[in-house]
Amino acid sequence: MSAHSPRTGPAQLDAPAEPDGAVELEVHEVRPREPAGLPVVVRCISGRLRVGSPLHEIRETAEPVDLVVTRIRRYDRDLPYLDPAATALLTLAGPPDARVRSGTHLRGRSAPSA
């Protein structure tokens, strides 16, 4: 398949989705909790992360967490999803004692597309 079409220009290629809908994020920075949730700067390692995606595990310790992505913000714009290799500021809803730290990897499932 060509990356260019003579009639339409560059092809729009979707990021490959994990077959089971799995997503993994690397946490770069954890900011102070706000009323809307916990702001974290992450890089998407695998899968397509969507607003509404549940995050259920810290990879390094296999510790369960109960977090939901409520906002994805990149370049001062809200986005509906984040593809692998992209970095963004997320807002996570969940218990205040979730052990999210810089350097940890969060695993979860991609929410269905709208």
Q: What are the structural domain ranges in the chain?
A: 16-109
Dihedral through CA 54, CA 88, CA 18, CA 93, nearest 10?
Answer: 0
Q: What is the pLDDT of residues 83-113, one digit of tens each?
A: 999 999 999 999 988 889 999 999 999 988 7
Q: Are strands 87-93 and 49-50 parallel, antiparallel or unpaired?
A: unpaired
Q: What is the pLDDT of residues 1-43, one digit of tens each?
A: 444 434 443 333 444 445 569 999 999 999 999 999 999 999 9
- Name 79's bridge partners: 72
pTM (two decimals): 0.80
Secondary-structure class of domain 16-109 per CATH: mainly beta
